[in-house]
Each structure stands twice: as structure tokens, then as C-alpha cells.
Amino acid sequence: MKVVLSTTALAVGCVGSAQSKAMDTSKTLRRFAFGSNIHQDLPQPIWRAIEKTNPELFLSLGNN
């Protein structure tokens, strides 16, 4: 349980410190990508393929 809480705290802290540009709310998003059930303990080469599609929005759904 401590590992889960520590990882969550680290992830939340990193999100707040990342630089991002302001979202243009007048633009309609047209390119979405989504995924689920990625195993964090295994290699994740899928991210390269996702990046090549240049999604405007990525939704990570599932239980991992």
C-alpha cells in the first residue's frame, strides 16, 4: 500500500511541475487515441506507435 501511495504522490507532483502550453478552447479536437490495461512492469513499445499518430487527446482507460 505504501508503494501505491508513494507512486501516486510522485505522479501528482510531476503533473503540477510539468510545463504545458495553454489550451486553445476555440479549436475542435479531431484526433483522439485511447488505450487500456498496459502492464507497467513490462516493456511498453506501444507508446512510440501512439506518438506517431500525433493525437490531440489521449485517454488511458482501464485498471492499470
The confidence band for 36, taking pLDDT boundaries of 50, 70 and 90, is confident
The rounded mean pLDDT for the chain is 79
Q: What is the pTM of this model?
A: 0.52
Average pLDDT, integer, range 10-30:
72
The confidence band for 17, taking pLDDT boundaries of 50, 70 and 90, is low
Q: Note the pLDDT of residue 13.
A: 58
List b or e across 24-63, with b for residues whose CB sees 16 or more CB atoms inside 10 angstroms.
eeeeeeeeeeeeeeeeeeeeeeeeeeeeeeeeeeeeeeee
Query: What are the grid coordinates assigned to 18, written together?
Result: 510539468
> Which residues, at least 6 apart from 34, have a Cβ–Cβ distance to it below 8 Å?
58, 59, 60, 61
**What is the amino acid identity at position 35?**
G
The confidence band for 53, taking pLDDT boundaries of 50, 70 and 90, is very high
